[in-house]
A and B are shown apart, each in its own frame.
Chain A
Amino acid sequence: MGPLVVNEVISENTNLLLAFFIGIAFGFVLEQGGFSSSRKLAGVFYGYDTVVLKVFFTGAITAMLGLLFFSLFGWVDLSLVYVNETFLWSTLVGGVIMGAGFIMGGYCPGTSFCGAAIGKIDAYIFIIGLFIGVFIFGEAYNLLEPLYMAEFWGSPRISEYFGISEGVTVLVVILAAVAMFWGAEWAEKLFPRDEY
């Protein structure tokens, strides 16, 4: 059955329309989770508000379990789903730069649009910064290309890389996440926060 657009159950234009509705759901959930507030987002790094950890990991695990169960019931063909490529150095260096941007800006691109939707001025400024940053990358592309294209490992899944089954991989992530949830509760009791 799925993915619907690949199996031509729906057309490309319907796909784009549904993208809009999926976006609405995405934005709604992010904002309801409190991700439109930069103080809440940065809170996980100081312990006073661990909502990011809870939402992010619960979301990732629900998605992992959801996809694997869908695949088990034959509702989706996982070999046709997009798995993002691994270019070792650009992923790591990009991740480090993004981490710095996260702690300074207090947003990530998706949450900044949510924050902008409800009127957070710092979110607007962050978005302006995003455009500038992407533009800089575009102009400096020739310089950055070797780093960008280095060490292409294809699109390995974690399960393939470590040679364990997908179900076991998910179980390990779940165990780690549950441990983190308990750690988060402890941290929030330890680090107080004021209303914002």
Chain B
Amino acid sequence: MNPYLAGVLLGLVVVAANFVSGRGLGASGAVKSAIVAGVETIAPKHADASPFYHKYSEAHQGKPLNNWLVYQMLGVVVGGFFSGVISRRLTWKVEHNPGIKSKTRLIFALAGGILFGLGSQLGRGCTSGSALSGMAVLSLGGFLSMAAIFGTAFMLAYFFRKLWI
């Protein structure tokens, strides 16, 4: 699909989300809900003691998985799958620069994921939640987030070029 068209559709989805629910999209928040739910099930005493889990659970009346973002992310998986089906892009593969091994790429994927998980919690949002949805409502935090993420990635791009080109 033409990227500009995809962009327009994406923007319309954000408008729809704001119109219906008064909030933009998001992604990392669903991961947080899952972690909080997991820790509460496995180690409830620890969850109660730590302010991080405790505050979140209280704010969601003891049902951390019953929130907007979790349902939205379930939809994302369904939507992505459906799109993959109709565009015949469903394959198992590891994407990387042919010049390196799959294993190297996977190690960096894991490292990247850990950093992103940590960073998104600190930054109170990821590119979907803070940058995209934040920019849609002209939030200062959204623009700062956007600038920090993409700026840093550009600056570090040279050091990780072997992964991609």
Contact = CB atoms under 8 A, between A and B. Distances in A.
A60 B136 contact: yes
Nearest to A28: B79
Interface string A18-33: 1111111111111111
A176 to B, nearest CB: 11
B44 to A, nearest CB: 14
B164 A133 contact: no
Contacts, number: 529
Interface of B is mostly: helix
A144 B80 contact: no
Contacts of A161: 140
Interface residues of A, number: 130
A184 B123 CA distance: 28
A90 B21 CA distance: 26
A131 B117 contact: yes
Contacts of A86: 139-141, 144
Nearest to B47: A138
B109 A98 contact: no
A46 B135 CA distance: 24
Given A23-B72, A84-B129, A108-B126, A33 B7 contact: yes
A157 B139 CA distance: 4
Contact of A26 (B79, B87, B115, B120): B79
A134 B10 contact: no
Nearest to B18: A81
Nearest to A45: B157
Contact of A85 (B66, B79, B91, B124): B124
Contacts of A173: 135
Interface string B118-144: 111111111111111111111111111
B160 to A, nearest CB: 5
Interface of A is mostly: helix
B62 interface: no
A28 B85 CA distance: 10
Interface in A115-137: 115-123, 125-137
Nearest to A48: B165
A46 B20 contact: no
B93 to A, nearest CB: 6
A142 B118 CA distance: 14
Contacts of B128: 26, 108-110
A134 B32 contact: yes
Interface string A90-106: 11111111111111111
Contact of B31 (A75, A76, A80, A130): A130
A182 interface: no
A87 B123 CA distance: 8
12 contacts: A2-B19, A3-B20, A24-B76, A26-B128, A38-B95, A62-B10, A94-B148, A101-B112, A102-B116, A104-B115, A136-B117, A166-B138
Given A59-B7, A133-B118, 20 more contacts: A4-B21, A16-B71, A23-B74, A26-B76, A29-B83, A33-B7, A36-B84, A38-B96, A58-B3, A81-B137, A90-B123, A95-B123, A104-B108, A105-B116, A108-B116, A109-B27, A122-B95, A127-B113, A138-B35, A156-B140
Closest 3 CB pairs of A and B: A129-B113, A105-B112, A133-B117
